[in-house]
Amino acid sequence: MSIKQLKRLTLGGQASRRDEILMALQALGCMHLIPLSQDDADANHAIAMQQPTDASEALAWLSRVERRRRPVKDKDLVDVDELVAQILENKRHIRQQQDKRDLLKERLQLLRPWGEFELPDISTINNLRFWFYLLPLKKLSAMADIDLPWQEVHRDQKNAYVVIVSESEPDPALLPVDRSHIGGSSLSKVEEYLEIAEQHLEDLIAEREALTRWIYPLSQSLAASQDKAELLLASSGVQDEGEFFLIQGWMPADAQDAVIELADVYGSAVLFEDPKDDDQPPTLLENSELTGGGAEAMGFFQTPNYRAWDPGNLVFYSFSLFFAMIMNDAMYSAILGLIILFFREKFDASEEGKRLKNMGLFMSGLGIFWGVLAGSYFGITPSEGSFWDFFHIIDMNDYNAMMRLSVFIGVMHLIIANVMTAYINRTHKRAFAPLGWAALMFGGMLVWFGVTGAVWSWFGKGLGGLLMLGGAGLVCVYSSDRPINSRKDMALRVLDGAKAIYNITSAFGDILSYMRLFALGLSGASLAMTFNSLAGQVVEAQPVSGVLFGGLILLLGHILNFALCVMSGVVHGMRLNVIEFVNWGLSDEGYPFKAFRKKED
């Protein structure tokens, strides 16, 4: 996985064949356009962006359906405008029916405590009406002040059900509660209306499912609209020179032969140029399906500069390792893998989803491996001498060892970032500065290891000290490109070096950030053991009912802990890659390559 080499393409063709050439370039789909006439492009941008909103709404409505019918591939079998109107009509009817059903459910909930009864016609009872009130028992004494006829028709442990007879609604100030709006229909009638509403809603949902067979023709119609819009923008960005026109853009170097072939067909002239130093080409990543998930995850936050390097492969492995250390449980990681496999069809619906699925499965596998080494299975440690205890070689309670491991991982992660930065700048003297930082970090780690006894004291302090001094020297000398033509320039160059070496505090803080790997992993394991202990205590206290409550504690506790571990692994694992790592490995941010490509099949 790498950043593909690009070339600047300038194509000149006959003005009379401009639309043909642009459509051919769109079908080829390998060009990131550079507008040569920005004013025309801006003028037509609003027109091009006016996409058919009704069709987009209709497609979104059908796309959310889980169960779909066999798709129709022939686009000529349906009138898209009539189809869109039918889909939106279905959406409106479903929303209306859902509102009606919800209103009936609310009415049924209010009416059910009053039981089954029929209200008489008011003309038969001298135009009197019944007003219903639900009073808490402690407020029932307020009825003593009511002069109107009333009757308590029912009472439960909390409330009294009171009916007042009056031609008009009693003054709300007379009673401590609002009246119950139960409507004029009986309980059985409301239940009947609700059943009819549910059946009608089922019919509408079935109609929505039947309409899903037209998703493909509808999506193709939208794709055709988008193609026309992009074609309009591309046409607006060309440079008109009378009888011929010019179009310019970036293209992958390996597509040069295809462009030459297209130019021969349309009698056009092409010019290929390598990017100049002051150019800012887009970034086109060449991702593999196996490890491309690292680039997809990184792409949420930052796109590397064209002249930088693609950290996608490294992020794939480093993020997986960080996630495994934070998860710190073999069974939690196995459950995550099963969840990913359960939703694999949704992941496989797109290339990006396939890459993220592979990354998730690798994270799960690495998490199982780490959990076995850490001896954690739902927070339970294997008994001494058992089969699984043989693989238990990581002691999370050995704080000193885990701190050294976290720092070692952090230092090596940042060293890789600095070494890659030096490699990208290998033709310039400034490449020595990141090498100096790499030596400074590694030397500082060796010195610490020597002091704590992790390595021989003479080795750690001696070699580590030399690496720190050498690295600091490289940082001071090569962090600045200021030319030295006078004593003043020399003094300023020294100040630049001192300013650069001051970043050692930032390096120290970034390395300590990797301590979160140990801290979060330990906290997740501790929380799992706590839930296990609580469940055990409940079972011991109540041997019969305690089994139920202990099981609930285990289930809910481990679900909560699993969710917290997953969130911590994603957030903090990605943070170490996006903030600490990128701070040392990627200096400038780029922008993605957007191909002028035909979307309609």
**What tens digit of pLDDT does each residue of 233-258 get?**
888 888 888 888 899 999 999 999 99
Asked whether the beta carbons of 223 and 599 are under 8 A apart, the reply is: yes
Predicted local confidence at residue 99, as pLDDT: 95
pLDDT above 70: percentage of residues in the chain: 96
Predicted local confidence at residue 489, as pLDDT: 66
Phi, psi for residue 211 in degrees, rounded to 5: -70, -15
| 3-state secondary structure (DSSP) of residue 68 | coil
179 DSSP β-pair partners = 133
Distances (CA, A) of 565 to 91, 318, 400: 39, 17, 23
Ramachandran area for residue 382 (φ above 0: left; ψ -120 to 50: alpha; else beta): beta
Average pLDDT over residues 158-186: 85
Examine the pLDDT at 289 and tell me if it is beyond 80.
no
Examine the pLDDT at 426 and tell me if it is beyond 60.
yes
CA–CA–CA angle 267, 270, 275 (5° rounding): 170
Reported as a pLDDT band with limits 50, 70 and 90, residue 600 is confident
Examine the pLDDT at 544 and tell me if it is beyond 80.
no
**What tens digit of pLDDT does each residue of 308-322 get?**
888 888 889 999 999
Asked whether the beta carbons of 479 and 435 are under 8 A apart, the reply is: no
Predicted local confidence at residue 257, as pLDDT: 92
CA dist 543 and 548 (Å) reads 10
For residue 391, count CB atoms less than 10 angstroms from its CB and return exposed for 0-12, middle for 13-18, buried for 19 or more.
middle
Average pLDDT over residues 531-541: 88
Phi, psi for residue 3 in degrees, rounded to 5: -90, 120
Average pLDDT over residues 421-447: 89
Examine the pLDDT at 40 and tell me if it is beyond 80.
no
Alpha helices (runs of H) in 394-503, residue ranges in sequence order: 399-424, 432-452, 457-478, 487-501
Predicted local confidence at residue 550, as pLDDT: 87
Examine the pLDDT at 198 and tell me if it is beyond 90.
yes
Predicted local confidence at residue 45, as pLDDT: 57
CA–CA–CA angle 149, 152, 154 (5° rounding): 155
Asked whether the beta carbons of 212 and 78 are under 8 A apart, the reply is: no
131 DSSP β-pair partners = 164
Distances (CA, A) of 276 to 6, 452, 465: 11, 51, 42
CA dist 282 and 309 (Å) reads 13
Tokens of 33: 């356009």
CA dist 582 and 315 (Å) reads 10
Examine the pLDDT at 396 and tell me if it is beyond 80.
yes
Predicted local confidence at residue 279, as pLDDT: 87
Q: What is the mean pLDDT of the chain?
A: 87
Examine the pLDDT at 493 and tell me if it is beyond 90.
no
Average pLDDT over residues 538-543: 83
**What tens digit of pLDDT does each residue of 96-139 get?**
999 999 999 988 888 888 888 888 888 888 888 888 888 888 88
**What tens digit of pLDDT does each residue of 449-474 get?**
988 888 888 888 889 899 999 988 88
